[in-house]
Amino acid sequence: MSPTAVYLVTIFGLLIAVFTLSAGLIWYERRLLALFQDRYGPNRVGPFGLLQSVADIVKIFFKEDWVPPFADKPVFVIAPAVIIVATLMSFGVVAFAPGVMVSDLNVGLLFFLAMSSMGAYGVALAGWSSNNKYSLLGGLRAAAQVISYEVFMGLSLMGVVMMAGSFNLVRIVQAQERMWFFLPQLVGMAVFMVAGFAETFRIPFDLPEAENELVAGFHTEYSGMKFAFFFLGEYIGISLVSAMLVILFFGGWLGPVLPPLAWFFIKTFIFISFFILVRGSLPRPRFDQLMAYGWKVMLPLSLANLVVTAGILLWRRS
Amino acid sequence: METVFYISAAIAVLSTLMVVTRRNAVHALLYLIVSLLAVAVILFVLGGPMVAVLEVIVYAGAIMVLFVFVIIVLNIGHEAVRQERQWLRPGNWIGPALLTGVLAAELVYILAGRAAGVASGEQVSPAALGASLFGPYVLGVEMASLLLLAALVGAYHLGRRTTTRQEQGSDGIDKR
Amino acid sequence: MPLIATMPLWPLVAYFGVVVVMVAGILALSWVLGQRRRDRQTGQPYESGMVSTGSARGPLSAEFYLIAMFFVIFDLEAVFLFAYAIAYDRLGWAGYVEMLIFVGVLAAALGYLWKVGALDWGTSRYGKGRLPTSAAGGGDSTRGKS
């Protein structure tokens, strides 16, 4: 195959894989949560309820595409698209296996951070454009949470960057051939994982859509496919954060016997399951606790991690 | 590469024009974000991937978020639109626009006189950028940290005053 | 293991194009397929069954502005640290000390903000991040400004 064909296959294969995986995740999460809570979960549509997501998608296509007459219409339509596009763009630099990636940017890690910082617009604008009090509060809360946790999300990864000597995700994986980075960078990994939960609005950080105080937060007025975009965006975000965790701290595609791509998906799947397990076990904090936790615990921790890592690496070199 | 450059340059200019002419502040901001992203693509094509991504992180991802926050929190709705409409009358903008046109003509004249030698495509590696920031330009970096310290303290005290004056609750709605 | 040669940029541009077209296509398709309804309450804001009163456009807490401001400033500082992290081995111990000074100023700012309570959300109500002590839900006596 010519290089052009390889790239085209990668691009379309990636998009199909991401969408199938995210739709499948919705079923997987419901089944797994049901297992934790000793009930059945969706088991009617197809074998083990596997086709539940397909049925949901078909249903959503035929739902009314309602734009509120009181909303700011162009912004209302753009906001969910921003979330989906920004998350999908991050997948453009994810290194699945040697040669299996859309673009091998030498600033790949920073590209991921830049795209995740675009996520704040989606929620803030969705809340503002809906012209609904709950939406506005939910959107502002969501945006405040995203930006608070974004600061140390980047900082927590700098230990990895120093150990690998590059922002390139392929180089970062290759640098882990001797030892996966989660051992020396345990603090960095923990901080990044917490930030990942917060960026994707997963329990315990799902305050923006806390249904008992804000109806449905920033997407109260959304319905049909635009609502599905927010929903799907959350699952694509989970897959993205899990994939980044694997690449940055757990050796990416590295592993014995099995082909690289299989290792990558196995590891990513473990983290996705962990995300769901956490949802099944943790309660939700208060908003002021959430903000204080970010600024007072996580930010100093990630700064300390950076300073200590740089010191140890320099000391070992000299 | 050249085509990408010209397309994103055109997007940057067009969206900046839209920023100036929009009456709704949030719409104008959205165009400004598009403009900044287009400039980031230009920087990328010109061989500064690190600078391009930092432009997205700092300008499009941080400073514009602050703008959006301020506009949402202040909620300047219909009155602002009316005010903008008044400001956009030809009598108000024709003078500055003429002067800017003269400047632009000068710029084109100077650039046209030179040999075309832009877009070398030479990449500046992120490590080189970091080394020069904390090498020869370290004084600037430390000054920046002091400036940011002052900005933090200043922002807190200015923002604090409005909070106590308005007597607001933690969930963001006026309680009294 | 040989390094993979740096790939060209166009796949990323093409990928962006495909993503945008796909998202727009899905939205357009659902708009075409979706049902249309015009009922008595269709055009009302949803507030859990309450009849909506007043406008959703009113002044909000300035604390959101403070958070955004802190974010911008700390994000800028983080960007400088990104530049340090990628070049730390070239800069050696001299660079380390420079970075320590930089982080020190940053930590001083953070410490000051912590001490004056700028990082506590909504302290003007409860004081130093604690819940109101009275079970009655916080009369005016517990709402003393800090």
Asked whether the beta carbons of residue A106 and residue B61 sit closer than 8 angstroms, the reply is no
Nearest to A117 among B62, B127, B173 (CB): B62
pLDDT > 60? residue B119: no
Residue of C nearest to B79 (CA): C57
Question: Are B30 and A75 an interchain contact pair (Cβ–Cβ within 8 Å)?
Answer: yes
User: Distance of alpha carbon A271 from its chain centroid, rounded?
Assistant: 11
How many angstroms separate the first and last alpha carbons of chain B?
59
Question: What percent of chain C is modeled with pLDDT above 90?
Answer: 1
| B99 contacts: CB under 8 Å, gap ≥ 6 | none
φ and ψ of B174, to 5 deg: -60, 130
Chains that contact C by 3+ CB pairs under 8 Å?
A: A, B
> Which H or E element spans position C116?
helix C88-116
Contacts of B70 in chain A (CB under 8 A): none
Among the partner residues B57, B58, B73, nearest to C65 by beta-carbon distance:
B73
The pLDDT value recorded for residue A229 is 87
- pLDDT at residue B1 in the model: 64
Helix (H, G, I), strand (E, B), or coil: what is residue B47?
coil
| C1 vs A contacts (CB less than 8 Å) | 174, 177
CATH of the domain at C77: 1.20.58.1610
Q: Would you say A267 and A176 are in contact if contact means Cβ atoms under 8 Å apart?
A: no
> Residues of C with CB below 8 A from B149's CB?
105-106, 108-109
Summarised one tens digit per residue, pLDDT across range B29-83 is 889 999 999 998 888 887 778 888 888 888 888 888 888 888 887 776 667 777 7
Does residue C121 lie within any of the structural domains? yes
What's the pLDDT at C137? 38
What's the CA angle centered on C122, arms C116 and C127, to 5 degrees?
60
**Dihedral Cα A114, A117, A118, A124, nearest 10 deg:** -170
Asked if C76 is an interface residue toward chain A (Cβ–Cβ < 8 A), one would say no
The class that CATH gives domain B2-122 is: mainly alpha
**What integer pLDDT is reported at residue A242 of this predicted model?**
92
Contact assignment for A314 to C96 by CB distance below 8 Å = yes
With a pLDDT cut of 70, the percent of chain B lying above it is: 81
- The total number of structural domains in chain C stands at 1
Burial of C127 (0-12, 13-18, 19+ CB in 10 A): middle
Distance (Å) from the C-alpha of residue C85 to the closest C-alpha of chain A? 5
Q: Do B129 and C87 touch (CB under 8 A)?
A: yes
Nearest CB to A110 within list B26, B27, B57: B57
Does the beta carbon of C91 lie under 8 angstroms from any beta carbon of chain B?
A: yes
**Residue pairs spanning A and B at CB distance below 8 A:** 81
| pLDDT > 50? residue C129 | no
Return the pLDDT at C3.
35
Alpha carbon distance A172, A162 (integer Å): 10
Interatomic CA distance for residues C96 and A195, integer angstroms = 26
Residue in B91, B85, B73, B86 with CA at minimum distance from that of residue B24: B85
Residue A80 CA to residue A125 CA, distance in Å, equals 9
CB-facing half-sphere around the CA of A45: CA atoms within 13 A: 13
Question: CB under 8 Å to A136, separation ≥6 — which residues?
Answer: A127, A128, A130, B72, C56, C60
Predicted pLDDT at A224: 81
Q: Which domain holds residue C78?
A: 62-133+142-146
Quote the minimal CA–CA distance from C119 to chain A in Å: 6
Contacts of C75 in chain A (CB under 8 A): 147, 150-151, 154
Residue C26's CB: how many other CB atoms inside 10 A? 21
**A124·B68 Cβ contact <8 A:** yes
Does residue C13 form part of some domain? no
C118 has pLDDT over 70: yes
Per-domain boundaries in chain A: 65-317
Q: Quick check: C139 contacting B, CB < 8 Å?
A: no
Of C58, C83, C112, the CB nearest to B75: C58
Q: Which residues of A touch C3 (CB under 8 A)?
A: 170-171, 174
Q: How many CB atoms lie within 10 A of CB A180?
A: 18
Q: Is C116 on the interface with B (CB under 8 A)?
A: yes
What was the pLDDT predicted at C46? 75
Q: Is C3 on the interface with B (CB under 8 A)?
A: no
Q: What ipTM was estimated for this complex? A: 0.83
Name the β-bridge partners of A73: none
pLDDT at C72 over 60: yes
Q: Do B58 and C79 touch (CB under 8 A)?
A: yes
What is the nearest CA distance from B4 to chain C, expressed in angstroms?
A: 9
Q: Which own/partner contact pairs does A59-62 have at CB distance under 8 Å and 24+ positions apart?
A: A60/A224, A60/A225, A60/A227, A60/A228, A60/C30, A61/A225, A61/C29, A61/C30, A61/C33, A61/C34, A62/C33, A62/C34, A62/C35
- CA distances, A316 to each of A156, A159, A311, B147 (Å): 21, 15, 9, 34
> pLDDT tens for residues B121-155?
567 778 888 888 888 888 888 888 888 888 888 88
Over residues C1-20, the pLDDT tens digits come to 333 344 567 788 888 888 89
Does residue C34 surpass a pLDDT of 90? no
Q: Report in angstroms the alpha-carbon separations of A254 from A42, A258, B135, C48, C54.
A: 35, 9, 36, 50, 58
| Chain A contact for C128 (CB, 8 A cutoff) | no
Put simply, the answer to whether B168 touches C124 (Cβ < 8 Å) is yes
On whether the CB atoms of residues C13 and B41 are closer than 8 A, the answer is no
What are the phi and psi torsion angles at A222 (to 5°)? -90, 145
Answer whether residue B102 shows pLDDT above 90: yes
Out of A114, A120, A287, name the one closest to residue B53 (CB): A114
Best mutation site among A103, A150, A160 for testing chain C: the one with the most C CBs within 10 Å? A103
Residues 43-72, chain C, touching A (beta carbon < 8 A): 43, 45-48, 52, 56-57, 60, 64, 67-68, 70-71
- Helix (H/G/I), strand (E/B), else coil: B175: coil
SS3 B82: helix
pLDDT at B15: 92
What mean pLDDT is predicted for residues B94-103?
A: 88
How far is CA A75 from each of CA A78, B57, C28, C134, rounded to the nearest angstrom?
A: 5, 22, 16, 44
Q: Which of C3, C64, C69 to mutate to test the interface with B (most CBs of B within 10 A)?
A: C69
For residue C111, is it within any domain? yes
pLDDT tens, residue order, chain A (318 aa): 677 888 888 888 888 888 888 888 888 888 888 888 888 888 888 788 888 888 888 888 888 888 887 778 888 888 889 889 988 888 888 888 887 788 888 888 888 988 888 888 888 888 888 888 788 888 888 888 888 888 888 888 888 888 888 888 888 888 888 888 888 888 889 899 988 888 887 777 776 666 666 777 777 778 888 888 888 888 888 899 999 999 988 888 888 888 888 888 888 989 999 988 888 888 878 777 788 888 888 888 998 998 998 889 888 887
**The pLDDT of residue C133 is above 60:** no
Nearest to A96, CA basis, from A258, A210, A236, A265: A265
Number of helices and strands in chain C (H, E): 4, 0
- The per-residue pLDDT for C126 is 42
For position B157, what pLDDT does the model report?
81
Instruction: Indicate whether B7 pLDDT > 50.
Output: yes
pLDDT confidence bin for C130, thresholds 50/70/90: very low
Element (H, E) at C96: helix C88-116
Subunits close to B (at least 3 CB pairs below 8 A): A, C
Structure tokens at A151: 């600061």
Residue C135 banded pLDDT, cuts 50, 70, 90: very low
pLDDT the model gives residue C5: 40
pLDDT, residue A210, reads 66
Question: Which DSSP string corresponds to B122-174?
Answer: PPPPHHHHHHHHTTTTHHHHHHHHHHHHHHHHHHHHHHHHHHHHHTB-TTSSB
pLDDT number for residue B93: 77
Tell if the CB–CB gap between C61 and B54 is shorter than 8 Å.
no
CB contact under 8 A, C84 and B130: yes
Q: Whole-angstrom Cα distance, residue B174 to residue A151?
A: 29
**Secondary structure of chain A in the HEC alphabet?**
CCHHHHHHHHHHHHHHHHHHHHHHHHHHHHHHHHHHCCCCCCCCCCHHHCCHHHHHHHHHHCCCCCCCCCCCHHHHHHHHHHHHHHHHHHHCCCCCECCECCCCCCCHHHHHHHHHHHHHHHHHHHHHHCCCHHHHHHHHHHHHHHHHHHHHHHHHCHHHHHHHCCCCHHHHHHCCCCCCCCCCCHHHHHHHHHHHHHHCCCCCCCHHHCHHHHCCHHHCCCCHHHHHHHHHHHHHHHHHHHHHHHHHHCCCCCCCCCCHHHHHHHHHHHHHHHHHHHHCCCCCCCHHHHHHHHHHHHHHHHHHHHHHHHHHHHHHHC
* For A148, nearest residue in chain B (alpha carbons): B62
Residue A134 has a pLDDT of 81
pLDDT value of residue B14: 92
